[in-house]
Amino acid sequence: MQITESNVVQFGSFMLSEPITAITDVLLALLCFIIIFRLRVLKKETGSYSAWSFFFLGMGLSTLTGTIVHGCRHYQTEDAHYNTWMFMNVLSGLSVFFAQLATVKYIHQRSKHAKLLQTIAWIQLVCYFVLILIFRSFNVVKIQVAVAMIPVMIIHIAGFRKGIKGGGWVGAGIGMSFFSAVFHTFKISINEIWFNYNDLSHVFIGASFILIATGVLKGAEKEAAGGSGS
């Protein structure tokens, strides 16, 4: 292994850009796929958590695509890099949309506003696709996540306060994810090569996934057992 320039490591003839960012992207993808497997096992008993499965599938594919965006930058033309980056962000936007749909299903039996929230989710998704194509900025991604996921967080925390199983974990997980936006926005790094702001944000995203999955699994297990509260 040889460090040839800032944020590029050479393994033989292979040039790996942003090595820790690429590796943590792979780890996030693996985490998402493990969570999906667990949810699929539970789905044999209850079908209420398929939207969360799609959330984690989208995030897993997005972070896996991020491995190419960050790790293979040396081999990409500007057009290829942009198209791969855009595909990563499309997957991310779809994931957030499925988190919203999962939340609509979460409150469906308890709120007359579920259909309105579903319509809002669709409108936000379309607006996100339009804005990301116009501005081509990762700031659009961060704004979309905040606008869509803050209500999701509030709904799940409110469910937790009413004794609904798993809501507190999901709310805490979404809250954790906002730390990643802080580190990314202000470019807080430990080391520019070995642990930069992208890598630190991935740590918070991973913690967020674990917390959200814990909440979803607790709720799914409760539903499979025939209960409704905690």
What does the CA dihedral 9, 14, 20, 26 come to, rounded to 10 degrees? 180
Smallest Cα–Cα separation from 56: which of 105, 104, 95?
95
Give the Å distances, CA to CA, from 196 to 11, 82, 192, 213: 21, 21, 5, 26
Q: How far apart are CA 51 and CA 141, in angstroms?
A: 20
pLDDT digits (tens, 9 = 90+) for 114-140: 888 899 999 999 999 999 999 999 999
5: pLDDT strictly greater than 70 = no
In the chain, what percentage of residues exceed pLDDT 70? 88
Comparing 29-33, 208-212, 222-226, the range with the smallest average pLDDT is 222-226
Per-residue confidence (pLDDT) for residue 116, from 0 to 100 = 86
Query: What is the rounded average pLDDT of the residues 78-89?
Result: 96
Section 99-110 average pLDDT: 80
The answer to whether residue 230 scores a pLDDT higher than 50 is: no
pLDDT digits (tens, 9 = 90+) for 164-190: 778 999 999 999 999 999 999 999 988
What token pair was written down for 178? 């906002």
Determine the pLDDT at residue 8: 80
Q: Specify the DSSP element, H or E, that contains 8.
A: strand 8-11
Q: Please provide the average confidence, as pLDDT, over all residues in the chain.
A: 87
* Residue 229 pLDDT level (bands cut at 50, 70, 90): very low
Name, of 31-35, 108-112, 185-189, the range with top average pLDDT: 31-35
Give the CA radius of gyration of the chain. Answer: 19
- Asked if the model's pLDDT at residue 207 lies above 90, the reply is yes
Residue 3, pLDDT score: 54
pLDDT at 211 (0 to 100)? 97
Residue 2: pLDDT band (50, 70, 90) is low
Q: What is the mean pLDDT of residues 32-60?
A: 82
Give yes or no for residue 7 having a pLDDT over 50.
yes
Phi, psi of 108 (to 5 degrees): -55, -40
Judged by DSSP in three states, 141 sits in helix
Asked if 93 contacts 133 with a C-beta cutoff of 8 angstroms, the reply is no
pLDDT tier, 225 (very low <50, low <70, confident <90, very high otherwise): low
DSSP 8-state secondary structure symbol assigned to residue 73: G
Look up tokens 């309105």; give the residue.
Answer: 116
Question: Which domains does the chain possess?
Answer: 2-224 (1.20.1070)
